[in-house]
Chain A
Amino acid sequence: MSLLRSEWIKLFSTRTTWVMLGIGLLCEALLAGLYVGLVSFREIDGVEDDGIEGILTGTGLLMTLMLVLGVLIVTTEFRHGTTGSTFLVSPRRWPVLVAKLAAAVLVGLLAGLLYVAVNAGLALPIHSNRGGELPPGDVLVEIYAGVVASFALLCAFGLGIGAIVRSQVGAIVAAIAFFFIVSGLPYLLPGSIGDYFPAAALGALHGDIEGDGSLSQVGGGLVLAAWSLGLWALGTLLVTRRDLSD
């Protein structure tokens, strides 16, 4: 608990976190607001659209930012050499990584809730003012829950990659490339193997439209959680065994 408080202080005592959350939410508000405010959603593809995609515009940026924030939670320590003082307080290192995981999940949830607040407070009213139909309440709750969960899991995913790669730039590139590009490739394979990779799992978690995935929303969440936890465990093992000589 004390280690978690320490991580929380670290997280919010640099500008990066504030800037990332601020920019993410601002862009979400702008994009979602503009989209539902200006685009004539009824005409898209000639298909009847329930407006969900429009409302969720801007999620992608925040998801990427969550992934990056997760990476930074661990790589900044290696980059600036603060691992020395951190692991002096807790020479057994795994509890620190547990605290970091908890902090990543919490900040992801926080960002998710802020996201929902902005979205429900801005995009939904604009949408319905223009006569757009809203999905039923329970569907909306499911969608929002999926987004909030995905933010937390993406942050944890980034943390795992950060602990494995350690180099800041390398880890950011690796996390984005792996998540958004590489893990989508097995999707092209026959069978349902691709469903169990992060990209598809994220899609399922968002109740996504494109895929004909076999995973339910909860299933997608669990698969993504398993990936995040697995990467975190590997990263923790590596950090625990590593010599800290700089």
Chain B
Amino acid sequence: MPELEVRNLTKRYGSTVAVDDLSFAVEAGRVTGFLGPNGSGKTTTMRALLGLLRPTRGEALVEGRPATAMKRPLETIGAALEATAFHPGRNGRNHLRALAAAASLPTSRVDEVLEMVELSGAAGRRVKGYSLGMRQRLALAAALLGEPRILILDEPANGLDPQGMRWLRDLLRAQAAEGRTVLVSSHVLSEVSQVAEELVLIRDGKLVSHTTLAEFTAGGSTPSRVRAADLEALAAALGERGARVGREEDGALLVEGLGAEEIGELALARGIAIHELAPQRSSLEARFLEVMGDEESEGS
């Protein structure tokens, strides 16, 4: 049984279709990236999974049941939805205390999660004075409170600085390594590509692709830029191996269909000295945009 599953989920608001016949399942013990442009239905799907809104059609299930049937909700699923969803006049610690009390968790757990998200120092301050990054950390703390088996995080990287992003990635990896299921949404691939093993891509409320990160990367043409002592010979050799070979403006080869290792080994076998061999890293993002239709890549 998948930990999280949506089956033919459709959610309409008036004439607007936010989620359109969406189906996918998330298995335990790994990080799944939930990707799509802003407004593609990620948040709606997550809220349906959490039982916060009623599907127009279809189902959203947690451990095979609707969220409203969960026995101990906070220990089953933890969620960080929006960074702004706090009472501005309440301090961070009291926000967590109220949640812990509702779930019959000891107050000591509040201090533990505050420690985990490195927010202990600001816990006594009112949320009003928190930066966006601090709010994200507080939202994460709330999600971790019940040591849940499943984590649902909606755009948790928004507002985090580069150190914060690395910290978040480490945290998510650690959570998955402990066997937890993590569904993390983003509209920027690079935010999740370093932690997610699986990717669910949606657009306009519809599933575009459900794949592993490895397949997604392999499926795309990840070109390598190559310069060598004898470019013509190398181009011919690569062509024989089935690679598509193009030319960069400065004359370097742009090789698609073969990995950097294979290109290097082939060159060695032919005795051609390699001067430069650079996989074009940005291609993952390029492929994402290609799949998503390249309408939106940044902003919020």
Contacts and interface: CB of A to CB of B under 8 A. Distances in A.
Interface of A: 2-3, 5-7, 9-10, 13-16, 76, 80-92, 241, 243-245
A61 B173 CA distance: 55
B162 to A, nearest CB: 28
A91 B97 CA distance: 18
B10 to A, nearest CB: 14
Interface residues of B, number: 36
Given A2-B102, A2-B104, A243-B52, A15 B68 contact: no
Contacts of A87: 51-52
B90 A14 contact: yes
B101 A244 contact: no
Interface in B59-74: 67-68, 70, 73-74
Contact of A10 (B77, B90, B142): B90
B52 A84 contact: yes
Interface string B99-137: 101111000000000000000000000000000000000
B98 A88 contact: no
8 contacts: A80-B86, A81-B85, A84-B81, A85-B142, A87-B51, A91-B50, A91-B67, A91-B73
B52 A80 contact: no
B194 interface: no
A15 B128 CA distance: 13
Contact of B90 (A13, A81, A244): A13
Contacts of B50: 84, 88, 91
Contacts of A90: 73, 102
Contact of B82 (A6, A13, A14, A81): A81
Nearest to A12: B94
Contacts, number: 91
A245 B52 contact: yes
A6 B53 CA distance: 23
B225 to A, nearest CB: 46
A245 B47 contact: yes
B285 to A, nearest CB: 30
B53 A243 contact: yes
Contact of B103 (A2, A16, A84): A2
Interface string B161-197: 0000000000000000000000000000000000000
Contacts of B142: 85
B67 A13 contact: no
A241 B53 CA distance: 9
Nearest to A77: B87
Contact of B89 (A7, A9, A15, A243): A15
B87 A80 contact: yes
Given A13-B91, A81-B82, A84-B81, A91 B102 contact: no
A7 B101 CA distance: 9
Given A2-B102, A85-B85, A244 B52 contact: yes
B73 A5 contact: no
Given A84-B82, A84-B85, A88-B50, A13 B74 contact: no
